[in-house]
Each structure stands twice: as structure tokens, then as C-alpha cells.
């Protein structure tokens, strides 16, 4: 593997965790998985976004920062590299789409303070799926609180990721359009994905459609 730290990102239901787990297993990599199910605000947020958006985003940011700080500061000599199913920037991306301006300004001040203390991934992999495929994956995994997610919300989050990526001038970003493949259930499709991720990329945005 060309990289020491890879982060997998994507909108809700894109397959981030599945891909990170598969890569970690194949390469004996150190795996960092987001502990989102422990967040008590998440079910409440999907019922009343306006009321619970700020405490949800603040609690997510705090837990993500603490986990990444702890995991990335310790080196595992028995693992070949580190892979995570999220990158801390998702906190700001989601906040920009869910918070009013005054709360977003406060949130951004805290985010900028912690963001500079964390290492950036050597490669950021973004999994792109159409909204219909995202909703299909969300239904299949059956988390009760996620069944209320609207198409409009997913579209806003997806737009937030694209806005962020377009602004990055010093990152390696790999956008994978996986609408026509199923890397979870078809080994051949997973091999296609890995043949792309394994390559060495220069700084910039690289788009691959399967």
C-alpha cells in the first residue's frame, strides 16, 4: 500500500464502513471505525433536526476528535497502515448543512481549533452513490432512526462534500462512482476498487467511474 493513513468518506449509506473493514482485513491494517451508535442525540435529531442539530454536531465532533487523536497518536508495529471510515472534516460538512449561521459560526471556531492538531489522511477516498442507491442501502441495513431520512437531506450532505473537495488544493482525493458495482457482495467488484485505491496519486482530485 502506498499510503500510511487512508480515510474513507461518503454520504450516509455509501458503504464507508464495509469498505474500510474489508481493506483492513485484507492488508492487516489498523482500523478506526466511527462510534456513531453511542450518540444519544442521533435518533432525536432525525425526529426534530432544528432542535437537536447543534448538540448532535458538537457531540459528534468531540467524539471523533478524541477517537482520532487517541488512535493516530499511537503506532501499531504489527499493522501495515491505518484506515478509517471517516475523516474529521465531516463534522464541518454536516454542520454547514444543518446549523443556522450563528450556531455554525460558534461550531466553526471550535472545529478550526481542533482540526489543526490532527494529521490529514494521505488519501481521502470518497464513495459516490446516487440518492436512490443510498436510500436502498439505508433501508437494507434497517436502523430504525435512519428510515426517516429524506432525499433532500442526503442531497444537501452530498453537495457539502463536493463543495469541500473542490476547495482542497493540497490533498489527494479519490472519488469513486460505485453506482454500477457492488464491492460488498461481489469479490470481482471489490478487486476493481482496490486496484484503483492501490495506485499512487499526485495531489489533487481524481475521479473513477466503474
Q: How far apart are CA 24 and CA 22, in angstroms?
A: 6
pTM over 0.85: yes
- Where does residue 49 rank: exposed (0-12), middle (13-18), buried (19+ CB within 10 A)? middle
Q: At what angle do helices 131-141 and 151-167 cross, to 10 degrees?
A: 120
pLDDT digits (tens, 9 = 90+) for 115-130: 999 999 999 999 999 9
CATH code where residue 147 lies: 3.40.50.300
Number of domains in the chain: 1
pLDDT, residue 57, reads 94
Question: What residue numbers bound the domain in which 71 lies?
Answer: 5-209
Q: How far apart are CA 33 and CA 38, in angstroms?
A: 12
Please report where in the chains the cell 508495529 appears, as a residue. Answer: 77
- Grid coordinates standing for 108? 466553526
pLDDT > 90? residue 77: no
pLDDT digits (tens, 9 = 90+) for 168-200: 989 999 999 999 999 999 999 999 999 999 999
Cβ contact 58:94 at 8 Å: no
Amino acid at each position: 500500500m502506498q499510503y500510511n493513513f487512508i480515510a474513507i468518506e461518503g454520504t450516509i449509506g455509501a458503504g464507508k464502513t464495509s469498505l474500510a473493514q474489508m481493506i483492513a482485513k485484507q492488508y492487516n491494517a489498523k482500523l478506526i471505525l466511527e462510534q456513531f451508535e453511542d450518540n444519544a442525540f442521533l435518533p432525536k435529531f432525525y425526529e426534530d433536526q432544528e432542535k437537536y442539530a447543534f448538540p448532535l454536531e458538537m457531540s459528534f465532533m468531540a467524539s471523533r476528535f478524541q477517537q482520532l487523536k487517541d488512535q493516530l497518536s499511537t503506532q501499531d508495529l504489527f499493522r501495515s497502515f491505518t484506515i478509517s471510515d471517516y475523516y474529521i472534516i465531516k463534522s464541518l460538512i454536516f454542520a454547514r448543512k444543518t446549523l443556522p449561521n450563528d450556531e455554525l459560526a460558534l461550531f466553526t471556531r471550535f472545529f478550526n481549533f481542533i482540526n489543526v492538531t490532527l494529521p490529514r489522511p494521505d488519501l481521502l477516498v470518497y464513495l459516490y452513490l446516487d440518492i436512490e442507491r443510498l436510500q436502498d442501502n439505508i433501508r437494507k441495513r434497517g436502523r430504525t432512526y435512519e428510515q426517516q431520512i429524506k432525499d433532500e437531506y442526503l442531497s444537501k450532505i452530498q453537495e457539502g462534500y463536493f463543495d469541500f473537495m473542490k476547495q482542497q488544493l493540497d490533498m489527494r482525493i479519490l472519488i469513486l462512482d460505485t453506482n454500477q458495482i457492488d464491492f460488498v457482495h461481489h469479490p470481482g467488484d471489490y478487486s476493481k476498487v482496490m486496484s484503483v485505491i492501490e495506485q499512487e496519486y499526485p495531489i489533487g482530485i481524481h475521479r473513477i467511474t466503474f
